[in-house]
Amino acid sequence: MTLPYAEPLTVIAPAQLVVPEPPRRGEEGGEPCFPCSDHSDDNLIWSDDIWTLHSPGQTALPGSVWLASRAHFDSFADMPPDVAATFGAVCGRVELAVLALGDVGRVHLYRWGDGGAHFHVWFVPRPLGRLDMSGAHLMAWEDAMPAATEEQIAEAGRRISAAM
Ligand SMILES: [Zn+2]
């Protein structure tokens, strides 16, 4: 596991604390909630009664997708029981669909939640054989690599949709 930068890296001090934190998208006083908006189907690649699966607008790792609940809630702490009951199974289906793209070593699942207050998780494929991109540094590599084309992202979305 390595970073995509040459040594020596230098440590910087953390920024000043921001407390209280500003509202996130979908919180009172924040920007509108995207999954609850009329535009949320623009990048939709699959859905059922509980979940929606979306392609990202931009990524260096085609096959990256984000899964959102249809219901608006924030996190696991306030996830409705009927949603929680299907979470593991739908994650397994998405993982298999991303693996089916081929040349995928692992599918990483991320839940950050810093940007939006509507429950969503990311699935990000680590390219097969890219052991240097293992673990937490994958997103640093994603940030440093050239962006995929819109067609590459759309094609991955079509194939994942078909595999769901
Ligand atoms: Zn929402």
Distance CA 61, CA 127 (A): 8
Residue 82 falls inside a structural domain = yes
Question: If you average pLDDT over residues 126-150, what whole number do you get?
Answer: 96
Between the CA of 129 and the centroid of ligand 1 the distance, in Å, is 37
Q: How confident is the model at residue 1 (pLDDT cuts 50, 70, 90)?
A: confident
Q: Is residue 146 included in any domain, yes or no?
A: yes
Q: Which helix (H) or strand (E) holds 158?
A: helix 150-163
Is 88 inside any structural domain?
A: yes
Domain presence at residue 10: no
Residue 13 domain flag: no
In a domain, 7, yes or no: no
Separation of 52 CA from ligand 1 center, angstroms?
12
CATH number, position 83: 3.30.428.10
Positive or negative: CA dihedral 143, 148, 150, 154 = negative
pLDDT digits (tens, 9 = 90+) for 50-75: 999 999 999 999 999 999 999 999 99
- Look up the domain containing 143 and give its range: 44-163
Tokens at residue 11, please?
Answer: 């440590």
pLDDT at residue 21 is higher than 80: yes
**Cα-to-centroid distance, 88 and ligand 1 (Å):** 21
C-alpha of residue 119 to centroid of ligand 1, in Å: 8
Burial category of 137 from C-beta neighbours within 10 Å (exposed 0-12, middle 13-18, buried 19 and up): middle
Q: For residue 29, is it within any domain?
A: no
Q: What's the whole-number mean pLDDT along residues 100-128?
A: 97
Residue 37 lies in a domain: no
| Across 7-21, average pLDDT | 95
Domain count for the chain: 1
Tokens of 62: 């085609």
